[in-house]
Amino acid sequence: MVRQQIKQALLSFVLLSVITGVLYPLFVTGVASVFFHDKASGSLIYRNGAPVGSALIGQPFDGSKYFWGRLSATTPVPFNASASSGSNLGPMNPTLRESVNKRVDALRSVDPGDQGPVPADLVTFSASGLDPHISLAAAYYQAPRVARVRGLPQELVNAMISRHSRGRLLGVLGEPVVNVLELNLALDAYKK
């Protein structure tokens, strides 16, 4: 009797392991690959046949000719997809205030003529540490600097921001955003 129960339990364990650990993942992966190929492949962005990044994971840009994204608190490097995390610093934390002040100073130092208010998403950490987007306000704030450094008309840079922006999710959730990697790649590809 006990031997029969152990045999049935082991058979059930093996059968369910094969179904849930092999067959189901293969089925879901196959369906995703057929119907959502871009997303199932990591939403990779290619240039000249080589992947340069993902539309879902931010990248650090620090040159003044580039748009800068959100801050990333991942370690040991920014935008480390295997260590997604926020800073977990509250608004009264002195470390957060110091970080925000340093970022404001960095923004002001590369564009001293712009004394307007700095958009919050340019001086605060992304909750995941991986956010590839910035708000339209953050993009338009940086547009004069990027246009000046690249020697482009600001109207052209503003048009590129508009062209690479995405509206609210389902028309109501969140705010319109710009993917920083896509925008910077478009600027690099622009021929005067």
Three-state DSSP class for residue 125: strand
CB 55 within 8 A of CB 43: yes
Rounded to whole angstroms, the maximal C-alpha distance in the chain is 85
For the stretch 50-74, pLDDT in tens is: 888 887 888 888 888 999 998 888 7
- What does the pLDDT look like over 20-52, one tens digit per residue? 999 999 999 888 888 887 777 777 888 888 888
Q: Six-digit token pair at 149?
A: 């450094």
Of the candidates 102, 175, 171, 104, which has an alpha carbon nearest to the alpha carbon of residue 137? 175
Residue pLDDT tens, the chain, 192 long:
788 999 999 999 999 999 999 999 999 988 888 888 777 777 788 888 888 888 788 888 888 899 999 888 877 888 877 777 777 788 888 988 888 898 899 888 888 888 889 998 998 887 787 888 999 999 999 999 999 999 999 999 999 999 999 888 887 888 899 999 999 999 998 876
Q: Count the alpha carbons within 13 Å of 119 in the hemisphere toward its beta carbon.
A: 17
Answer whether 179's CB lies under 8 Å from 55's CB. Answer: yes
Question: Helix or strand or coil: residue 115?
Answer: coil
